[in-house]
Structure 1
Amino acid sequence: MATGSPGHITCWALGAVVLLQHREGGVGMGQCLRHQMHWEDLEEYQALTFLTRNEILCIHDTFLKLCPPGKHYKEATLTTNQVSSLPALRVNPFRDRICKVFSHNDVFSFEDVLGMASVFSEQACPSLKIEYAFRIYDFNENGFIDDEDLQKVVLRLLNSDDVSEDLLTDVTNHVLSESDLDNDNMLSFSEFEHAMAKSPDFMNSFRIHFWGF
């Protein structure tokens, strides 16, 4: 990994996740049984995401289990700690960044959770995945992935703070030499997008299953 490209960095970062077995869920007419969700809402969520009806209902079940009792799902929110502790995220070295990018004011509505699950689903389009991958790796949120961001990525992937400065420098320099097309020592979104488009494993690695538990 010390000599990996940004594409390989992304694959490693989001490959170490717990994949949860998909569970089928029934759907009725009018209001979905057990789900407090109207049929029209379910159809709208399906139209606006890359998720199936069963996936949406399974995510909804999990959301309700974490919400205060009696709270309607459209009014309830989850904390970032609750979401980052989900089995799908708790082993991911970038769980805090994922939560930061997909939450609003450090809380998750049901639609925020759906949006996150949709981006990480198998059906999501490459351009959407690349957009969110860039935001996740942009730690300092300056609109670029610079050497500071790259070093943080490497430290998290190695799961250690005891990494030599020489190794960090070598890795970041190698990544930049491969992907920094204008030689300004940082990756713009277009440069990152170009690098990800050349990575054959990116789409398979940028996946997390948030349903089925």
Structure 2
Amino acid sequence: MGSASSMLTQYDIEEVQKYCNNLSSQQEIVSLYQRFCHLDHNAKGFISADEFLSVPEFSMNPLSQKLLKMVDGLNFKDFVAFLSAFSANASEQQKIEMIFKVYDSDRNGKVFYKDMLQVMVDLSGSFISDHQREHVLNQLLKEAGYTKDSFLTLDNFIKVLGQSNLKMEVEVPID
């Protein structure tokens, strides 16, 4: 695919589709490529965390600091793969895996109570007290058969969240 300023070929589009499990249409990939090139200010072929922050929707997201760790230095294929988890075509497991990566802030394959609590703090801000957050999280863990001292692996996380009806989608505008 070369530099970000080059044109996408049909082969490139199909390669990205295959890399991303065919979750994006060819039109979506072309639109994402245009967005990627727009974000890649210096045409380096990857997007930095600072460039991601130039997207207002991203910079206003309460989890943006956690997401920045995941997106810093993405090339185009990885950019599309990252966004694929938010596709309407993504499976529930793919969406849960993305959420797990957000919670697993130290990338050790385990989500601890403190990790879950921190995401709840990020999402709720000052709208609920620390005590209320802890109560909600303790109740959720108890219902799932875990305690405050437990940690969740990806498989555990999938079991816990797999029963929820996740609505984690972003529509890719077709230019």
**Residue 114 of structure 1 aligns with which residue?**
80
Q: Report the AA paired with residue 65 of structure 1.
A: H
Question: Please, which runs of 5 or more residues in structure 2 have no aligned partner?
Answer: none
Shift of 1:56: 0.5
C-alpha separation in 1, matches of 2:14 and 2:55: 26
SS in 2 for 1:44: helix
TM-score by length of 2: 0.81
C-alpha separation in 2, matches of 1:196 and 1:145: 13
**Residue 188 of structure 1 aligns with which residue?**
153
Shift of 1:41: 0.9
SS in 1 for 2:59: coil
Of 43, 53, 57, the residue aligned with 1:84 is 53
Q: Report the AA paired with residue 57 of structure 1.
A: V
- Identity of counterpart residues, as a percentage? 24
SS in 2 for 1:37: coil
Shift of 1:117: 1.5
**Residue 68 of structure 2 aligns with which residue?**
99
C-alpha separation in 1, matches of 2:108 and 2:73: 22
**Residue 168 of structure 1 aligns with which residue?**
133
Does the CA contact (< 8 Å) of 1:80 and 1:108 recur in 2?
no
Structure 1 residues 212 and 99, CA gap change in structure 2 (3 angstroms): farther
Per residue, is there more helix in 1 or in 2? Answer: 2
Q: Report the AA paired with residue 39 of structure 1.
A: Q
Does the CA contact (< 8 Å) of 1:35 and 1:60 recur in 2?
no
Shift of 1:211: 4.2
182-191 or 38-47, larger mean C-alpha shift: 182-191
Of 103, 117, 120, the residue aligned with 1:151 is 117
**Which runs of structure 1 show a deviation greater than 3 angstroms over 4 or more consecutive aligned residues?**
162-165, 180-184, 209-213
Structure 1 residues 174 and 110, CA gap change in structure 2 (3 angstroms): same
Does the CA contact (< 8 Å) of 2:104 and 2:110 recur in 1?
yes
**Residue 6 of structure 1 aligns with which residue?**
none
SS in 1 for 2:58: coil
Q: Does residue 206 of structure 1 match 2:168?
A: yes
**Residue 45 of structure 1 aligns with which residue?**
16
C-alpha separation in 1, matches of 2:77 and 2:131: 43
Q: Report the AA paired with residue 7 of structure 2.
A: Q
TM-score by length of 1: 0.68
C-alpha separation in 1, matches of 2:145 and 2:82: 28
Shift of 1:167: 2.1
Does the CA contact (< 8 Å) of 1:35 and 1:61 recur in 2?
no
C-alpha separation in 2, matches of 1:94 and 1:40: 35
Structure 1 residues 179 and 87, CA gap change in structure 2 (3 angstroms): same
Q: Report the AA paired with residue 58 of structure 2.
A: L
C-alpha separation in 2, matches of 1:147 and 1:97: 16
Does the CA contact (< 8 Å) of 1:138 and 1:144 recur in 2?
yes
Does the CA contact (< 8 Å) of 1:84 and 1:96 recur in 2?
no
Q: Which has the higher contact order (CA 8 A, sep 6+)?
A: 1
Structure 1 residues 141 and 55, CA gap change in structure 2 (3 angstroms): same
Q: Report the AA paired with residue 98 of structure 1.
A: L
